Amino acid sequence: MTSAPHPQHMPLSSFDEITAVNANAVLEQLLHCTDENVNLSTIQRCDSIGIAVLLEAKISRGALNKNTVYSDAPEQLCELASFLKVSDILFK
C-alpha cells in the first residue's frame, strides 16, 4: 500500500515528462491545483516548452493571488531552467 502524497505537496504524478506532447494537459492540472506546493520529482524529462508551462502556471496563478512553489525538481529540469535564465522565477 502506498501512502498518499503530503497534502502540501501536489505531485505531477500522472506525468513523467513535460513536453509539447502533454503541455496543455500539464498546464490544466497546474492551473486547477488547489495546493501551493508542486512536487516535480516525478518529471524525468522537460524541454523548453515544459519550462514555459511551469512559468505560465506560476504567473497565471500569481495573477489570481495563488502562490506556486515548485519543489524537488530533477537536475535536468534545473539545468534547463538555469540555461534559459528562469531559475530565479521558477524556484524562488
What is the assigned CATH class of domain 9-91? alpha beta
pLDDT reported for residue 58: 97
Query: What ranges do the domains of the chain cover?
Result: 9-91
pLDDT reported for residue 20: 96
Strands (DSSP E) contained in 1-86 are 9-11, 17-18, 37-39, 45-46, 69-71
The Cα 65–Cα 41 span in angstroms is: 25
What does pTM read for this prediction? 0.86
Percent of the chain with pLDDT over 90: 79
Confidence at 68, pLDDT banded by 50, 70, 90 = very high
Angle (CA) 73-74-75 rounded to 5° is 120
Write the pLDDT tens digit of every residue in 13-53. Answer: 689 999 999 999 999 999 998 889 999 999 999 999 999 99
Beta carbons of 10 and 43 less than 8 angstroms apart: no
